[in-house]
Chains A and B, each alone.
Chain A
């Protein structure tokens, strides 16, 4: 089946720094990728929809200037958490879309 990777799998950073998370579709091209956030013991909440070559569409309540999304190619989308704070600590999951959404393994972000 289709494989989606995320890098890094976990990251710890200091408050105020920026963190970039990569999402790659390894064996297929994805015009659309999605970014989700999952808090402990909770469900996945869609943050934004990323389309290759265009601006991302953010869900209500998600700060686009804080969570920068770039979808520069059909196999790569990046999420940058800018000026991270402890409340941004979470599990971030991406998916890449072809006939269905294929999910990455997630990135655990801890902001100290």
Chain B
């Protein structure tokens, strides 16, 4: 069985400071991992994905995540937060290489940005 745990339900940072959103996974298979962002009244948007290639994955809007098998983690980072980054972020796991098939969502982390 697969699952993801997002360790923080809410993260608040100041604009211009680094962002760290934590995610740990559990999977019987070699997993594929994804980060999605949900802005109010907008559809979920894929930020980045890991599919067993490079362990450091770069995504859109300056976000990146590192797959660490020894720690079963896939934390999302950004060097400098922008006000537009305020949103809900979901860590997602799949046993397939793409998210085209069934995926499991984490509980979500709400990111707030202080001016």
Q: A residues within 8 Å of B by Cβ?
A: 4, 9, 32, 34, 41-46, 49, 93, 95, 97-106
Contact, CB under 8 Å: A100 / B100: yes
Within 8 A of A (CB), among B64-115: 90, 98-108, 110
Contact, CB under 8 Å: A43 / B42: no
Known: A42-B107, A43-B106, A43-B107. A97 touches B43 (CB 8 A): no
Q: With CB as the reference atom, state the residue of chain A lying closest to B4.
A: A43
Contact, CB under 8 Å: A100 / B99: yes
Known: A43-B90, A44-B90. A105 touches B106 (CB 8 A): no
Contact, CB under 8 Å: A93 / B107: no
Residue from the list B43, B106, B107 in contact with A102, Cβ < 8 A: B43
Asked if B28 is an interface residue, CB under 8 A from chain A, the answer is: no
* Interchain CA distance A97-B102 in the complex, whole Å: 10
Contact, CB under 8 Å: B100 / A97: yes
Q: Smallest CB–CB gap between B58 and chain A, Å?
A: 17
* Interchain CA distance A10-B54 in the complex, whole Å: 41
Asked if B46 is an interface residue, CB under 8 A from chain A, the answer is: yes
* Interchain CA distance A60-B108 in the complex, whole Å: 22
Asked if B7 is an interface residue, CB under 8 A from chain A, the answer is: no
Contact, CB under 8 Å: B46 / A100: yes
29 residue pairs A–B, Cβ–Cβ below 8 Å: A32-B101, A34-B102, A41-B108, A41-B110, A42-B108, A43-B90, A43-B105, A43-B107, A44-B44, A45-B105, A93-B43, A93-B44, A95-B44, A97-B101, A99-B98, A99-B100, A100-B98, A100-B100, A101-B99, A101-B103, A102-B43, A103-B36, A103-B43, A104-B43, A105-B41, A105-B42, A105-B43, A106-B41, A106-B43
